[in-house]
Structure 1
Amino acid sequence: MSNLEELGLCFVSHYGPLIDGNHLEKNIINHLTRLKKFTFNIRSTAFLNKIVNLPSNEDIQNTFENFQNNRIISSVDYFTKANELHCHIYSYPYTWTHYFTITNNFSGGLFKCVRQISLVDERPFEREFFLRIQKSFPFIEVLHLRNDEPPKNDNQQWSIIQYSHLTQLDLSENHEYYVEQFLTNTKTCLLNNVYLRVTYDTLRRVTDNFTRDATRVNCSKVIGLFLQNRSELILDLKDYFPHAEIY
């Protein structure tokens, strides 16, 4: 492919070398002498206990000094519980329709092309984080959240976060605080016709056994409810989700 003039790369490298600017120069750019446009979205992961010198985000960013024609964004995250290091590098403006594994280190920006995101961290997501996500991804349709740690500061008054295009919401793998946040209409405004995935026990606690008024409005907007850890349908749940097919 030595005559290639444009190249776009998007992939995840599991437990191999961390891919940075030096890696891209040595293994790709130096072999494509006619390359004029290079866009990429690359995430590489490695085991923490197998890396001698843990790189910082500044270390990764410094490897792109020779990339004169691109704005490069990088982020490095340490997941100590999972024993993993995640390194994410991409050219900006971002052109892909998905943006996965967004953590508290997310630097912001505007991503009009993105329709699907996942929010993942071992540290709690504070309210400010969700406001930043709403502004950065105004057209998201699918959101998956995974976080077991509740926020430490939830006493401040915030404006309602509105997700104007969201149709699929997966809250099945996180602390019940985040389920409460998305289903309470004074905190979050959901679009009509939402498909929701959640565990039954968490949903029952958040809605006070399907009687709580604060979560009734958003629950009434659900048209597809995918329950985990519940086999039989109960009447109170069906009344609380009047428009939903329950799976």
Structure 2
Amino acid sequence: MKYYHDITNNFPGGLFKCVCEVSLFDEQPFEHDFFLRISQSFPFMERLTLSNFKSQKYKQHTKSTNDIKDCSIIEYHHLTKLVLLDVNLDYVEQFLDKTKTSFTNNIFLTIKSYLLGKGTNYFTRSELRANCAKVYGLNIFGELKTRKNLNAYFPNVNKIQFSCC
């Protein structure tokens, strides 16, 4: 099997070495530990599509004196395509924040314009710059409110494609 589609929070885990394309869908929020389970279950995943409009209940933040919870960084060793179209803003942060996610490869990112703008605070959030620097291609759905700092925020992008809808 090369693909595994519509995985929900009920996914029990396991090891799927031959699966390179994964899609996640649920009406309940995906939490950080779910993404950790996904990355471990699909170690050779190249493409990930996410569909979930529910806000995360347990947002992972950097450690503080009040929150000593272990916030392991999730590594995606083979991921090259990430699709974030029908998602809550929380998932943009989940994947672009270097304190939550690490990409080994360069990524082609497909995302809606308002998610990209709001998620990056219109290209000013410094904690997202490391993962955004690993983006080599952007497919942006819709018109961006501002393109100021877009190239500086994504310095390695070779191709930016704007799509309508």
Choose which of 144, 150, 159 in structure 1 pairs with 2:55. 150
CA distance in 1, matches of 2:103, 2:4: 20
Unmatched tracts of structure 1, length 5 or more: 1-95
1:166 and 2:79 are equivalent in the alignment: yes
Residue 115 of structure 1 and its aligned partner are, at CA, apart by 0.3
Question: Given the two structures, how large is their TM-score scaled by the length of structure 2?
Answer: 0.87
Specify which of 108, 121, 124 is matched with residue 211 of structure 1: 124
Q: Give 2:160's aligned residue.
A: 246
- The structure showing larger relative contact order (alpha-carbon pairs under 8 Å, at least 6 residues apart) is 2
Q: Are the equivalent residues in 1 in contact too, given 2:83–2:111 (CA < 8 A)? A: yes
Correspondence list, 1:168-183, <5 A:
168-183=81-96
**1:115-161 CA distance string (max 9 Å, x none):** 00000000111111111111111110000000000121225432100
Which of 26, 32, 39 is matched with 1:134 structurally?
39
Match of 2:110 in 1: 197
SS where residue 33 of structure 2 aligns?
Answer: helix
Q: CA deviation at 1:242?
A: 1.1
Deviation at 1:235, TM superposition (A): 3.8
Conserved? CA contact 2:46–2:79, under 8 Å: yes
Partner of 1:105: 10
**Helix, strand or coil for the counterpart of 1:173?**
strand
Choose the corresponding residue for 1:220, options 129, 133, 143. Answer: 133
**CA RMSD between the two structures:** 1.5
| Per-residue deviation, 1:234 | 2.2
Structure 2: 5+ residue stretches without partners: 61-68
Quote the Cα distance in structure 1 between the aligned partners of 2:145 and 2:136. 18
CA distance in structure 2 between the partners assigned to 1:196 and 1:154 by the alignment: 22
Deviation at 1:232, TM superposition (A): 8.8
Alignment partner of 2:43: what SS? coil
Task: Give the aligned residue type for 1:147.
Answer: N
Computing the radius of gyration over CA atoms, which structure comes out larger, 1 or 2?
Answer: 1
Partner Cα separation in structure 2 for residue 209 and residue 157 of structure 1: 29
Aligned partner letter, 1:163: Y
Query: How many pairs are equivalent?
Result: 152
> Could you tell me how far 1:208 is from its partner in structure 2?
1.5
Q: 2:117 touches 2:144 (CA, 8 Å); kept in 1?
A: no
Contact conserved, 2:4 with 2:19, CA < 8 A, in 1?
A: yes
Instruction: State, as a whole percentage, how many aligned pairs show the same letter.
Output: 47
Give the CA deviation at 1:200: 1.2
